[in-house]
Structure 1
Amino acid sequence: MSQMKYDRFLNEISRRREPSLLRELFSLQVEAPEDAVFLMAGMPNPDTFPLVEGSLTLRDGRALTLSPKKMVDCLQYGPTPGYPPLLKQLKDLTQRLHEPPRWRDSDVVVTTGSQSGLFMAMEMMMSPNDYVLIEEPCYTGAISILAPYSPRYLPVNSDSEGMIPDSLKAALSRWRPKDAQDPLSDIPKFIYTIPTACNPTGAVTSEERRREIYKTACEYNLLILEDDPYYFLQFMDEEKFPSSYLRLDTEGRVLRFDSFSKIIASGLRVGWVTGPQPLIRKINLHKGASVISSASMSQVVVNELLEMWGDEGLRKHVREVRRFYHTQRDAMLLAAEKHLSGLCEWSVPAGGMFLWIKVGRISDTWSMVLERAMKKKVMVVPGQGFMTDSSSLCQYLRLSFSANTPLNMEKGLCGLAQLIREEIELQNSHQFLQKWG
């Protein structure tokens, strides 16, 4: 296997970032003899911590107990890469699920949800006015990270099967593959995508497309930022899950972002990034300089829960969560068929928490949602928020089925249908006045 060079992907600030001496010394503590006397780090004395032990009750009635020793782990500073027992579990889980071809050259870092990992990765690479290949429609959190850099977006179209490879190639057509070898070239550095249950569309990129997209990334020497918080929420049997980009990565060009937010608890804010060691090392440096370490209590709780469940327990829990959201999706689709047929178009979400609909008979949903939806007691997200150019007209809406009851979905879509009909009448009257004065 050829050795990847990563300098082209790092911006000037990231290249200059150096390790903190204290953080480096702190990491040695793991390898130190048990009777070593530590006079290095300014760690608070555990005798001053107000919490001593605790217990959390699981839905099945079992108790997850945090012993006094575990509580100290919860309340004390931790290593920047993550709580060591949890890191080991995450590495084992990632290897088991994805079997990365470059596993020996890879590493993992715990992040505060996958969002913080994504932020650090993009900040590591972005410079002002960089070209950016980004799936559209796109997760709003990614756009928020990128916006301050005034990026020159190259939107890559997607449909019900995810990102369209031909659209990616068209976006890259102004460059030649060899331009990636020129340090002065403005060729993009990465492709950003949510390949599984994309937020907002719910599309799952097919295996065939993933392989073609990865091949293009290799050809143009691009990284793939695989943002995959909905990986476990694919509404199909696990054996049919398409290969992750990490599983396809024979060259070391994938940074993968995972999260427990959708399957355990979003408030715990535990995610992790997997990727080539040189890039994970830079993310660790950023993390150490910004937050020092992720919240220890969240990491310990997740680790203890995974220990209690074991692999089979985690699989059982994930199946139950997937089944729940699958049922929620079906309830949303029933309500949509009943109230929005003839008014809107949509594809059946293959996973996730959202239904992405096109309101074909109105030119833009922005004012309808922000100015008039409240009167119908229904709140949805206008499609502009998921577009790289939010000033353009957009006919789309994102509806969430994750946290509502079927009854509320029925009520909400009934109100939305009324709102859309009124908006069509309002638009028609405006057009009549403009034409006839």
Structure 2
Amino acid sequence: MSVGIDYSHFINARSSRRRPALTREITKRQYGVKDLISLAEGVPNDSTFPFASITVNLKDGSSFDIEGQQLTSALQYIPTQGYPPLVKSAKNFTRTIHNPPNWENYETLITNGSQDGMSKVLEMILDDEDSIMVQEPYYAGTDAILKPYNINVIGVEQDQFGIVPKKLIESLENCQKYTEEGGGSMPKVIYLNPTASNPSGRTIPTERKKEIYKICCDYNILILEDDAYYFVHFLEERPMSFLSMDTQGRVIRLDSMSKVLSSGLRLGFLTGPKRLVQNIELHISSDILHSSVLSQVILEKLFEKWEISGFLAYFEEVKAFYKTRRDYTLACMEKHLKGLCEWESPTGGMFIWFKVLGVSDVYEMLLVRGIKKHITFIPGQNYMADPTKACNFVRASYSKASLKQIDKAMQLLAELIREEQVLLRRKLDSIDDDIIIK
């Protein structure tokens, strides 16, 4: 890992002033130490908790109990980094799957899903009037984090294989020129959702990832790799991650259990250079102290029960489930929307991103007239760096609705688009009539 990276460049002034709380440090240092007499802990006494044991029943007919010391841990405060056995399992999992160079220079911490980790990372890096680069379209949850910062969001154009390296360089060169003229500062981070991205469903191939990584090295940019759909891809081979090629130590990777185990457990883990992860840990410490321990213990029990091979086998079942739904949804679109829309087959995930033909802006069509037909889709503006511009793209999710409902929704959407096209033609005819009269 490069010793030339000045990580202080990626920690804003507010974040650099964070210091560990003594109580949190004591919790970390004394956790698991036997025969320790501690009068330092300001924690509730375990005997006052009403829970005797917790049994988790799985759909395969098996079960496991959380009791004894594990139950005590699940119900009590723990170090901010996470439940130590789970931290160890998450590290082992990440190293086995991604095997990044210079592994000893990385650290892992448990987060309340990848959204929590992403929020803390951006809070550490960004100041008002900074710039951030994103793939366009990009995940709307990131936009929700960015809005209060009053920053410049630079969308980088995508093709069917994700962001285009040439466009990334052009954007960076424009930023550099603007900065040299005294108009701002260079972006410190690029946000990427590289596998089956939300909303486009695209996956960045390995060779393009290598190009993007080199560009980020050349311009001294961190890569925030938010890979929530990594285990819900439909490709023949598992994608190579940015983390796995990170020779310099400029990737912060976010993994999530939300799409494959449970969104309600709110579990994910963050892996990145130790210097940065240590600072992110301070953000979590001052905010929520640590992620839900009960959820962490449940996940660790699954690691004990399934091991990594069992997790991967389960993920294959999840992938097959969503692939069947994707294929059915594409068939419904072919039946109802052919000639009205254009789309790509998503490489994974839960969404199809498509363009409506003959309609320049789908916002009111979907959110006003679509609701009246009892169907909901998300207009593409929601995923753009500049959401004020007209957009004719739509995101459809095939994850939850029944197959019958998906077919009906596509049929009603086709009716809606045809009605919208008629309305637009009437408006144009009215404008033409006004011109002739005048």
If the TM-score is normalised by the length of the shorter chain, which range does it land in? over 0.9
Which sits farther off after the overlay, 184-193 or 413-422? 184-193
Partner in structure 2 of residue 10 of structure 1: 11
Q: Percent identity?
A: 41
Q: TM-score, normalised by structure 1?
A: 0.96
Partner in structure 2 of residue 361 of structure 1: 358
1:226-375 to 2 correspondence within 5 Å?
A: 226-237=225-236, 240-375=237-372
Partner in structure 1 of residue 194 of structure 2: 195
- AA partner of residue 388 (structure 1): A
Partner in structure 2 of residue 111 of structure 1: 111
- AA partner of residue 285 (structure 1): L
For residues 106 and 322 of structure 1, the distance between their equivalents in structure 2, rounded to whole angstroms, comes to 29
For residues 302 and 200 of structure 2, the distance between their equivalents in structure 1, rounded to whole angstroms, comes to 31
Q: Unpaired segments of 5 or more residues in structure 2?
A: none
1:213-258 deviations in Å (ceiling 9; x for gaps): 0000000010000000000011023xx2231000010000000000
* Structure 1 outlier segments of 4+, above 4 Å: none
Partner in structure 2 of residue 27 of structure 1: 28
Which sits farther off after the overlay, 139-148 or 151-160? 151-160
For residues 25 and 242 of structure 1, the distance between their equivalents in structure 2, rounded to whole angstroms, comes to 41
* 1:176–1:220 CA contact under 8 A, matched in 2: no
For residues 96 and 107 of structure 2, the distance between their equivalents in structure 1, rounded to whole angstroms, comes to 14
Partner in structure 1 of residue 89 of structure 2: 89
The alignment status of 1:36 with 2:33, answered yes or no, reads: no
- Relative to structure 1, the CA distance from residue 184 to residue 250 in structure 2 (aligned partners, 3 Å threshold; closer, same or farther) is farther
The alignment status of 1:222 with 2:221, answered yes or no, reads: yes
The alignment status of 1:415 with 2:412, answered yes or no, reads: yes
- AA partner of residue 221 (structure 2): L
Partner in structure 1 of residue 424 of structure 2: 427
1:31: how far off?
A: 5.9
Partner in structure 2 of residue 65 of structure 1: 65
* 2:53–2:71 CA contact under 8 A, matched in 1: yes
1:427: how far off?
A: 1.1
1:390-419 deviations in Å (ceiling 9; x for gaps): 110000100000112221111110011111
Q: Unpaired segments of 5 or more residues in structure 1?
A: none
For residues 151 and 264 of structure 1, the distance between their equivalents in structure 2, rounded to whole angstroms, comes to 34
For residues 102 and 370 of structure 1, the distance between their equivalents in structure 2, rounded to whole angstroms, comes to 49
* 2:130–2:184 CA contact under 8 A, matched in 1: no
Which one of 355, 362, 385 corresponds to residue 388 of structure 1? 385
1:175: how far off?
A: 5.0
The alignment status of 1:139 with 2:136, answered yes or no, reads: no
- Relative to structure 1, the CA distance from residue 2 to residue 185 in structure 2 (aligned partners, 3 Å threshold; closer, same or farther) is farther
The alignment status of 1:155 with 2:155, answered yes or no, reads: yes
Q: TM-score, normalised by structure 2?
A: 0.96
Partner in structure 2 of residue 212 of structure 1: 211
1:185: how far off?
A: 6.8
SS at match of 2:42: coil
SS at match of 1:267: coil
How many aligned residue pairs are there? 431
For residues 393 and 379 of structure 1, the distance between their equivalents in structure 2, rounded to whole angstroms, comes to 19
For residues 81 and 329 of structure 1, the distance between their equivalents in structure 2, rounded to whole angstroms, comes to 37
- Relative to structure 1, the CA distance from residue 176 to residue 373 in structure 2 (aligned partners, 3 Å threshold; closer, same or farther) is closer
SS at match of 1:55: strand
* 1:369–1:381 CA contact under 8 A, matched in 2: yes
- AA partner of residue 50 (structure 1): P
SS at match of 2:387: coil
Partner in structure 2 of residue 170 of structure 1: 170
SS at match of 1:172: helix
SS at match of 1:116: helix
1:433: how far off?
A: 1.1
For residues 390 and 88 of structure 1, the distance between their equivalents in structure 2, rounded to whole angstroms, comes to 41
* 2:31–2:79 CA contact under 8 A, matched in 1: no
